[in-house]
Amino acid sequence: MLFLGITSLAMGAHAQEMTKKEPPKPAISTSQAVLDQWNDIGRKLIAMAEDFPEDKYDFKPAPTVRSFAERLIHAAHANYFFTNLVLGQKAPAMD
Protein backbone atom coordinates (compact mmCIF):
# COMPACT_ATOMS: atom_id res chain seq x y z
CA MET A 1 0.00 0.00 0.00
CA LEU A 2 2.84 2.36 0.87
CA PHE A 3 4.50 1.53 -2.45
CA LEU A 4 1.28 2.39 -4.31
CA GLY A 5 1.03 5.74 -2.52
CA ILE A 6 4.64 6.71 -3.26
CA THR A 7 4.29 5.63 -6.88
CA SER A 8 1.11 7.68 -7.27
CA LEU A 9 2.79 10.78 -5.84
CA ALA A 10 5.86 10.33 -8.03
CA MET A 11 3.75 9.89 -11.16
CA GLY A 12 1.67 12.95 -10.27
CA ALA A 13 4.77 15.07 -9.78
CA HIS A 14 6.20 13.81 -13.06
CA ALA A 15 2.95 14.58 -14.89
CA GLN A 16 2.98 18.15 -13.57
CA GLU A 17 6.55 18.59 -14.75
CA MET A 18 5.59 17.38 -18.23
CA THR A 19 2.77 19.94 -18.61
CA LYS A 20 5.05 22.94 -18.14
CA LYS A 21 5.35 24.72 -21.46
CA GLU A 22 7.51 27.45 -22.84
CA PRO A 23 5.81 30.84 -22.80
CA PRO A 24 4.20 31.66 -26.13
CA LYS A 25 6.23 33.71 -28.57
CA PRO A 26 4.97 37.24 -29.07
CA ALA A 27 2.81 37.76 -32.13
CA ILE A 28 4.55 39.31 -35.12
CA SER A 29 3.54 42.80 -36.15
CA THR A 30 1.10 43.40 -38.98
CA SER A 31 3.82 44.99 -41.08
CA GLN A 32 6.10 41.96 -40.54
CA ALA A 33 3.27 39.59 -41.52
CA VAL A 34 2.65 41.57 -44.74
CA LEU A 35 6.39 41.66 -45.51
CA ASP A 36 6.69 37.90 -44.93
CA GLN A 37 3.78 37.23 -47.32
CA TRP A 38 5.17 39.69 -49.89
CA ASN A 39 8.57 37.96 -49.84
CA ASP A 40 6.98 34.50 -49.98
CA ILE A 41 4.99 35.44 -53.08
CA GLY A 42 8.12 36.95 -54.63
CA ARG A 43 10.08 33.73 -54.06
CA LYS A 44 7.26 31.69 -55.61
CA LEU A 45 7.08 33.94 -58.69
CA ILE A 46 10.83 33.69 -59.20
CA ALA A 47 10.72 29.91 -58.80
CA MET A 48 7.89 29.66 -61.35
CA ALA A 49 9.69 31.92 -63.82
CA GLU A 50 12.87 29.86 -63.53
CA ASP A 51 11.06 26.51 -63.78
CA PHE A 52 8.84 27.41 -66.73
CA PRO A 53 10.50 26.62 -70.09
CA GLU A 54 11.61 29.82 -71.79
CA ASP A 55 10.17 28.78 -75.14
CA LYS A 56 6.73 28.44 -73.50
CA TYR A 57 6.54 31.97 -72.06
CA ASP A 58 4.07 32.92 -74.81
CA PHE A 59 1.71 30.08 -73.79
CA LYS A 60 -1.93 31.10 -73.37
CA PRO A 61 -4.46 28.60 -72.01
CA ALA A 62 -7.12 30.47 -74.02
CA PRO A 63 -6.93 33.26 -76.61
CA THR A 64 -8.55 35.77 -74.26
CA VAL A 65 -6.14 35.04 -71.37
CA ARG A 66 -2.74 36.63 -70.76
CA SER A 67 0.34 34.61 -71.63
CA PHE A 68 2.69 33.40 -68.92
CA ALA A 69 5.10 36.25 -69.72
CA GLU A 70 2.27 38.80 -69.59
CA ARG A 71 1.23 37.47 -66.19
CA LEU A 72 4.79 37.89 -64.87
CA ILE A 73 4.88 41.44 -66.23
CA HIS A 74 1.52 42.10 -64.59
CA ALA A 75 2.88 40.86 -61.24
CA ALA A 76 5.98 43.04 -61.61
CA HIS A 77 3.81 46.06 -62.41
CA ALA A 78 1.69 45.33 -59.33
CA ASN A 79 4.88 45.46 -57.24
CA TYR A 80 5.62 48.96 -58.51
CA PHE A 81 1.99 49.98 -58.04
CA PHE A 82 1.92 48.97 -54.38
CA THR A 83 5.40 50.17 -53.45
CA ASN A 84 4.86 53.51 -55.18
CA LEU A 85 1.50 53.85 -53.42
CA VAL A 86 3.20 53.39 -50.04
CA LEU A 87 5.96 55.84 -51.00
CA GLY A 88 3.41 58.42 -52.17
CA GLN A 89 4.61 58.22 -55.77
CA LYS A 90 2.65 57.80 -58.97
CA ALA A 91 2.42 54.24 -60.27
CA PRO A 92 4.15 53.61 -63.62
CA ALA A 93 1.93 53.21 -66.67
CA MET A 94 1.12 49.67 -67.73
CA ASP A 95 2.16 49.10 -71.35
The structure's pTM equals: 0.60
Residue 62 DSSP one-character state: S
Residue 20 lies in a domain: no
The count of domains in the chain is 1
pLDDT in tens, 50-66: 999 999 999 999 999 99
Q: Is residue 80 part of a domain?
A: yes
List the helix and strand counts (H, then E) for the chain: 3, 0
Residue 5 lies in a domain: no
pLDDT digits over 10-40, tens only?
666 565 666 678 888 888 999 999 999 999 9
- Domain of 37? 27-95
* Residue 60, in any domain of the structure: yes
Helix (H, G, I), strand (E, B) or coil at 92: coil
